[in-house]
Structure 1
Amino acid sequence: MDTLTRRLTRAAIWSGDEVRVREVDIPDPGPGELLVRVRLATVCGSDLHTVSGRRSAACPSILGHEAVGQVVAAGPGAEREAGERIVWSVTSACGRCARCRRGFTAKCERVRKVGHESFTGDWPLSGGYAEHILLPAGVTTVSVPETMPDAVAAPAGCATATVMAALEAAREPAGRRVLICGAGLLGITAAAACAEHGARVEVTDPHQERRELAGRFGAVPDTGGPVDIAFDFSGSASAVATALSRLDLGGTLVLAGSVTPGPAVNVDPEAVVRGWLTLTGVHNYEPRHLVRAVDFLTATLGHRPWHDLVADPVGLDEIGLALGPAPRNILRTSVAP
Structure 2
Amino acid sequence: MPLEDFIDVRYARWDGVGLPFSLVRATTPGRPGAGEVLVRIDLATVCGSDLHTVSGRRPSPTPSVLGHEQVGTVVAVGSDAPACVDGTPLVPGLRVVWSVTASCGSCDRCRRGAPQKCRHLRKYGHEPLDERAPLTGGFATHCVLLPGTAVVAVPDGLPDAVAGPASCATATVAAAVQAVGPLDGRRVLVTGAGMLGLTAVAMAARAGAHVTAVDPSPARRTQAEQFGAAHVQDVHEPPDTVDAALELSGRTEAVRTCLAALDTGGTAVLAGSVSPAGSVPIDPEWMVRGLRTVTGVHNYRPADLQAAVTFLSGHHRSHPFADLVTGAYPLDAIDAAVEAARRSAAPRQAVLPTVR
Q: Shorter-normalised TM-score: what interval? A: over 0.9
Decide whether aligned partners of structure 1 residues 303 and 111 sit closer, same or farther in structure 2, where only a CA change above 3 A counts. same
Aligned to 1:15: 15
- Preserved CA contact (<8 Å) 1:180 1:191: yes
- Preserved CA contact (<8 Å) 1:235 1:257: yes
Asked if 1:336 is matched to 2:347, the reply is: no
Query: Equivalents in 2 of 1:213, 1:197: separation in Å?
Result: 19
Query: Equivalents in 2 of 1:105, 1:284: separation in Å?
Result: 9
Alignment partner of 1:272: what SS? helix
Match of 1:272 among 287, 295, 311: 287
- Preserved CA contact (<8 Å) 2:252 2:278: yes
Asked if 1:247 is matched to 2:249, the reply is: no
- Preserved CA contact (<8 Å) 1:210 1:328: no
Asked if 1:199 is matched to 2:209, the reply is: yes
Aligned to 1:148: 158
Match of 2:142 among 112, 132, 137: 132
Asked if 1:34 is matched to 2:37, the reply is: yes
Alignment partner of 2:110: what SS? helix
Matches within 5 A, 1:83-232: 83-120=93-130, 123-219=133-229, 220-222=231-233, 224-232=239-247
Query: Equivalents in 2 of 1:87, 1:6: separation in Å?
Result: 23
Aligned to 2:79: 76
What is the aligned length? 334
Alignment partner of 1:291: what SS? helix
Alignment partner of 2:286: what SS? helix
Aligned AA (1:23): R
Aligned to 2:86: none
Moved over 4 A (4+): none
Asked if 1:292 is matched to 2:307, the reply is: yes
Asked if 1:65 is matched to 2:65, the reply is: no
Q: What's the CA shift string for 1:290-310, capped at 9, x where partnerless?
A: 010010001102211110000
CA displacement at 1:117 relative to structure 2? 1.0
Please provide the CA RMSD for this pair.
1.4
Alignment partner of 2:318: what SS? coil
- Preserved CA contact (<8 Å) 1:117 1:123: no
Q: What's the CA shift string for 1:77-109, capped at 9, x where partnerless?
A: 223111100000000000000000000000000
- Preserved CA contact (<8 Å) 2:46 2:337: yes
Structure 2: gaps (5+ residues) = 84-89
Decide whether aligned partners of structure 1 residues 241 and 230 sit closer, same or farther in structure 2, where only a CA change above 3 A counts. same
Q: What's the CA shift string for 1:22-41, capped at 9, x where partnerless?
A: 10221331011111110000
- Preserved CA contact (<8 Å) 2:6 2:27: no
Q: State the TM-score, normalizing by the size of structure 2.
A: 0.91
Q: State the TM-score, normalizing by the size of structure 1.
A: 0.96
Q: What's the CA shift string for 1:147-196, capped at 9, x where partnerless?
A: 10000000011000000100111111111111101111010000000000
Query: Equivalents in 1 of 2:104, 2:26: separation in Å?
Result: 27
Aligned to 1:25: 27
Asked if 1:314 is matched to 2:329, the reply is: yes
Aligned to 1:51: 54
- Preserved CA contact (<8 Å) 1:117 1:124: no
Aligned AA (1:30): G
